[in-house]
Amino acid sequence: MTRHAPATARDIAVVAFAQTDHRRTSDDLSEVEMLMPVLHEVLDLTGLRTADIGFTCSGSSDYLAGRAFSFTLALDGVGAWPPISESHVEMDGAWALYEAWTKLLTGDADTALVYAYGKSSPGPLRDVLTRQLDPYYVAPLWPDSVALAALQAQALIDAGDTDESALAAIAARSRSDATANPHAQLRGPVPQGAPLVRPLRTGDCPPIGDGAAAVILAAGERARELCARPAWIRGVDHRIEAHSLGVRDLTDSPSARLAAERAGAFERPVDTAELHAPFTSQEVVLRKALRLDDAVRVNPSGGALAANPVMAAGLVRIGEAAARIHRGDSDRALAHATSGPCLQQNLVAVLEGDPR
């Protein structure tokens, strides 16, 4: 089954995007207090009020801050009473956007609010993320997120796909590009630092921090009313690798490639790609899998190496790609989101602006 919007389906666009400043800690704010300004900002960009929104979908994980049912408290910031049409995914907000996109395709709603947030600062993030692993053979060993990424990085080095200086160059380019992104957590020169889990150095790893993001989707003429240059979603697809790490070729990402193909990414070149590659080595894998050459502007926002609010960073990629189309800096962009160890799950969206 293709995940292109069928020819007869309605056109759906990202019409607004907002995000917090991403910070190492936000312990002065609860989750809803952190999220609410972003919800207000994204609504203000379109002039919509909560009551005008047809469908609301969010992504977050209670494990990050150790707060049960935190997403229900976060809904307070939306204004969800009287009851609204609403859904939640225990995944990055990119997957909430995927659900909202399909909801709009059905014609059940004309507008959708999608948001995501993550407070990683209250918990030991590297250990928290081990709880998503195979509970029989892997989770009892507590292999943390950096360790698993380091195994992938070493496999890439062994295969001759990269080396430590190439990885350092990816880190430097990302933080340098982030100087133009006022929301980024790491900007400008950042030392590569000591090995965290060799071969990965601290500079190869994303910052740990708290943040939130929100986008608004709208269908057809509604999108044109709300945004001067909507970022039309031409396709979205999500694919998964086999869950056992030892079964996979860690130097490649067939699931990302297939998702891109099904989303229509290879039909025409893109000028921009926002990749959710939290570790430098993962950009190497994704560039190869997604066939991105040097003509494509990769992660002009600085990417996840500049700000990686877990559960929101994938949605931020779609938002950043859409915002470039809104501003006229891009005509056709690829946005990618990942979840799980070593790029286990991959979502690709293709966005386009109207011809100028």
Our CB check for another protein shows the closer of 32 and 310 to be 32
CB 132 within 8 A of CB 340: yes
Our CB check for another protein shows the closer of 250 and 343 to be 250
Sign of the C-alpha dihedral computed for residues 262, 267, 273 and 279 taken in this order = positive
The number of beta carbons lying within 10 Å of the beta carbon of residue 208 is 18
CB 239 within 8 A of CB 255: yes
Asked if 285 interacts with another protein (CB under 8 A), we say: no
Position among 9, 169, 180, 242 found at the interface with another protein (CB under 8 A): 242
Beta bridge partners of 352: 232, 332
Asked if 44 interacts with another protein (CB under 8 A), we say: no
4: phi then psi, degrees, rounded to nearest 5 = -65, 150
Asked if 131 interacts with another protein (CB under 8 A), we say: yes
**SS3 state at 345:** strand
Q: Identify the CA nearest to 208 among candidates 339, 304, 287.
A: 304
Our CB check for another protein shows the closer of 247 and 295 to be 247
Position among 5, 39, 304, 323 found at the interface with another protein (CB under 8 A): 39
Position among 21, 52, 76, 271 found at the interface with another protein (CB under 8 A): 76
CB 112 within 8 A of CB 55: yes
In the stretch 141-160, what mask flags binding to another protein with x, by CB under 8 A?
Answer: xxxx--xx-xxxxxx--x--
- The radius of gyration computed from the CA coordinates of the chain, to the nearest angstrom, equals 19
In the stretch 90-129, what mask flags binding to another protein with x, by CB under 8 A?
Answer: --------------------------------xxx-xxx-
Asked if 69 interacts with another protein (CB under 8 A), we say: no
Our CB check for another protein shows the closer of 20 and 30 to be 30
Instruction: Give Cα separations from 282 to 25, 256, 304 (angstroms).
Output: 25, 12, 11
In whole angstroms, the minimum distance from the beta carbon of 183 to another protein comes to 20
Asked if 193 interacts with another protein (CB under 8 A), we say: no
Instruction: Give Cα separations from 135 to 132, 171, 244 (angstroms).
Output: 8, 32, 11
CB 334 within 8 A of CB 94: no
CB 14 within 8 A of CB 114: no
Our CB check for another protein shows the closer of 196 and 289 to be 196
Structure tokens at 38: 């972003």
Structure tokens at 237: 């697809």
Q: Identify the CA nearest to 18 among candidates 211, 185, 210.
A: 211
User: Rounded distance, CA 215 to CA 349, Å?
Assistant: 14
Position among 225, 244, 268, 354 found at the interface with another protein (CB under 8 A): 244
Position among 33, 44, 108, 354 found at the interface with another protein (CB under 8 A): 33
Asked if 258 interacts with another protein (CB under 8 A), we say: no
Part of the chain binding another protein (CB under 8 A), chosen from 30-38, 219-227, 271-279, 298-306: 30-38
Asked if 212 interacts with another protein (CB under 8 A), we say: no
Q: How far is CA 269 from the centre of its chain?
A: 21
In whole angstroms, the minimum distance from the beta carbon of 257 to another protein comes to 16
Position among 47, 108, 137, 221 found at the interface with another protein (CB under 8 A): 137
H/E stretch holding 103 reads: helix 93-105
Position among 54, 59, 77, 314 found at the interface with another protein (CB under 8 A): 77
Asked if 354 interacts with another protein (CB under 8 A), we say: no
H/E stretch holding 24 reads: none
In whole angstroms, the minimum distance from the beta carbon of 197 to another protein comes to 5
Part of the chain binding another protein (CB under 8 A), chosen from 221-229, 237-245, 306-314, 344-352: 237-245
Residues at the site binding another protein, with contacts judged by CB under 8 A: 27-33, 36, 39-40, 50, 63, 65-67, 73, 75-82, 122-124, 126-128, 131, 135-144, 147-148, 150-155, 158, 195, 197-200, 242-247, 250
